């Protein structure tokens, strides 16, 4: 079951006494999030849908279903997002969620090189078994754990040690969070994404950096003419960098489901 969240950008109001025209029916887009456990998939989609971040979020069981509306020029899209569990024991359920999906966001943790390897495996599986026209984005999450590009925690610890005259060295090393240095360089992941024909972005679900851009860039790459069969769609409309995109904030965060189908899903 899903519930509707509050709108972030609600209309200013109706001018005059005349009724406003009925809005066009949104185009339903099935989107799936894939990636290793604890890379931040649920946090990304929760930030996108409800503009929230929860510390110590519980792992997803099976999958969670969320919706969000996005406007592309004169087209309204309803993103129906399946946030899948990353644990290996749920891997066999994944085809249920990416089957007939028009878009996929494959997430890895920039501080864990092994998570990029898992992301590559998901990309390969999607390319082999999912929709031939699926739009795939490769997303490196947890930018907030690397405060400045090129400045690793070890360098920060050395600077702190120098400033303290060497007295804090043992304490600094003992308290340094393990695995928080950047292990996946952006240029390496970007090169892989370009080779595979994927979108590439880096994000922080905690700060919100790059989150809206991720989902809107995916939306801009969708071939709506192919999805809807509309013959009158303007060629190239959805692949133009000048497409006007708006997130309407009319989504909701759904309770986890384990292999169940949610009403309204374009499965």
Selection from 56-70, 186-200, 229-243 with the highest mean pLDDT: 186-200
Kindly indicate the confidence band of residue 248, based on its pLDDT and cuts at 50, 70 and 90. low
- Give the three-state DSSP class for 81: strand
Per-residue HEC secondary structure of 133-149 comes to CCEEEEEEECHHHCCEC
In order of 85, 106, 217, 250, 258, the CA distances from 262 in angstroms are: 16, 22, 26, 18, 11
Pairing of strands 103-109, 135-141: parallel
Q: What is the pLDDT of residue 246?
A: 65
Mean pLDDT, to the nearest integer, of 184-192? 98
Q: What is the pLDDT of residue 167?
A: 44
For residues 222 and 29, the answer to whether their CB atoms sit within 8 Å is yes
Domain boundaries, the chain: 27-144+185-257, 147-181
User: Which of residues 262 and 104 earns the better pLDDT score?
Assistant: 104
Of 101-110, 121-130, 164-173, 192-201, the one with minimum mean pLDDT is 164-173
The CB-based long-range contact list for 10-13 (8 Å cut-off, 24+ gap) reads: 10/249
Cα–Cα dist 155/59, whole Å: 32
Kindly indicate the confidence band of residue 68, based on its pLDDT and cuts at 50, 70 and 90. very high
Q: Which two tokens stand for residue 145?
A: 């754990």
* Average model confidence (pLDDT) across the chain: 75
Topology annotation, domain 27-144+185-257: Rossmann fold (3.40.50)
Of 2-11, 189-198, 248-257, the one with minimum mean pLDDT is 2-11
pLDDT surpassing 50 at residue 97: yes
User: Which of residues 210 and 253 earns the better pLDDT score?
Assistant: 210
């Amino acid at each position: 079951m899903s519930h509707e969240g509050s709108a972030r950008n609600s209309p200013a109001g109706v001018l005059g006494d005349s009724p406003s025209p009925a809005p066009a029916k949104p185009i339903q887009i099935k989107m799936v999030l894939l990636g290793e456990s604890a890379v931040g998939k649920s946090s990304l989609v929760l930030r996108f849908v409800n503009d929230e971040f929860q510390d110590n979020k519980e792992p997803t069981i099976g999958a969670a279903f969320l919706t969000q509306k996005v406007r592309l020029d004169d087209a309204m899209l309803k993103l129906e997002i399946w946030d899948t569990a990353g644990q290996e024991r749920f891997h066999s359920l994944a085809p249920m969620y990416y089957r007939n999906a028009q878009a996929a966001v494959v997430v890895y943790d920039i501080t864990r090189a092994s998570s990029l390897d898992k992301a590559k495996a998901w990309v390969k599986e999607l390319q082999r078994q999912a929709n031939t026209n699926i739009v795939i984005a490769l997303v490196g999450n947890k930018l907030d754990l690397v405060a400045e590009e090129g400045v690793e925690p070890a360098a920060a610890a050395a600077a702190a040690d120098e400033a303290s005259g060497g007295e804090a060295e043992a304490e600094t090393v003992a308290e340094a969070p393990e695995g928080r240095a950047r292990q996946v360089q952006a240029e390496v992941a970007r090169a892989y994404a370009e080779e595979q024909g994927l979108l590439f972005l880096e994000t922080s679900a905690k700060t919100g950096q790059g989150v809206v851009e991720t989902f809107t860039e995916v939306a801009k790459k969708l071939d709506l003419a192919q999805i809807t069969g509309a013959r009158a769609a303007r060629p190239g409309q959805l692949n133009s960098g000048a497409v006007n995109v708006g997130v309407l904030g009319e989504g909701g965060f759904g309770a986890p489901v384990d292999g169940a189908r949610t009403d309204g899903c374009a499965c």
